[in-house]
A = this chain, B = another copy of it.
Amino acid sequence: MADILRVAVIGAGRMGADHIQRLHTRIHGAEVAAVVDIDVERAQAAVADIPGARAFATPAEAYESGDVNAVLIATPGFLHEAALLEALALDIPILCEKPLTPDAESAWRIVEAEVATGRKRVQVGFMRRFDAEYAQLGSMISSRELGELLMLHCRHRNPDTPPGFTNEMLINDSVVHEFDVIRYLTGEEITSVQVRLGKASSKAPGGQHDPQHVLIETESGVLADVEIFVNAQFGYEVSTQAAFEDGIVDIGGDGGAYLRRGGRWGGVVTPSFIERFGTAYDVEVQAWIDAALRGEIGGPTAWDGYATAACCEAGVEAQKSGEKVAVELREKPELYS
């Protein structure tokens, strides 16, 4: 394999544009080689500030350019099947936004096509599996440290929905994440689904019945209820409470993951400055670089360094005397004002 992925991103809409930025600015080991969109002007706009990236109207043209060795599919779901089959034929790595395809029959055709190639090439975009709190819950389930998992209570709440969001999309676009996460967490297939509509919010757009109550069962009998509520006004929430034989775990709440067991509730204390400030270091260095490339600085100045040094000197003296020690500063040069 090449030592870098030259990725064709198919679809330059909301998710596509987001992935293009991600690949271009935050991800290591890959570059945006091509952006494909039937609206070729949208594709051109997307590559405008990415050196070495080109715009195409069809995937075939991108592949024919000879500069592509991987593909990220971010078109609407009904276009996935064709794009997947085309990429599978080329035997290149594929990241396909969820859903794989819009129905089980077409999804099965992808499975068959991939099985025919003899290797796994398609990764599906269920990104919750990469969220730290879901991962934490997953490892608590598989380790059985709290005994067997018995029940799950899931909340999926959006402040509101874009125009055209239908009842079917509540299942196919939103609950689909719960389907995947429940399968991922339990390591089991889902065996049945029940949906109850109940009382509807007056805030839901015409034709949409919101919220809905979904009750899901897995092979070993784990029951998972889902409140899917996509016009919940107050904000965004994706959370899960897991009831185990020996304790209760909550993830996705406003205060981070926490556990109840043996008469105590609580969570994990930040263990070191790396967990607390790791992101701040990244932001700091990036701010410095971005400013330096413009000939400026992007954070604390030498004056700040001097002033704190004067504080430290006073602090060490105060440490010895136990008294209040004044901090004396020279006049601030104009450069820093």
Contacts and interface: CB of A to CB of B under 8 A. Distances in A.
Contact of A281 (B22, B25, B183, B307): B22
Contact of A264 (B132, B213, B266): B266
B195 A234 contact: no
A259 B246 CA distance: 21
Contacts of A179: 307-308, 311-312, 315
A52 to B, nearest CB: 13
Which of A26, A121, A201, A312 neighbours the largest number of chain B CB atoms within 10 Å of its CB? A312
Interface string A129-161: 111100000000000000111110100010100
Q: What does DSSP make chain A's interface, helix, strand, loop or mixed?
A: mixed
Contact of A213 (B225, B270, B300): B225
Given A93-B292, A203-B147, A237-B269, A309 B256 contact: no
A268 B273 contact: no
A72 B299 CA distance: 14
A206 B229 CA distance: 39
Categorize the interface residue count of chain A: 35 or more
A99 interface: yes
Interface stretch (A36-44, A60-68, A321-329): A321-329
A264 B269 contact: yes
A289 B29 contact: yes
A271 B232 CA distance: 11
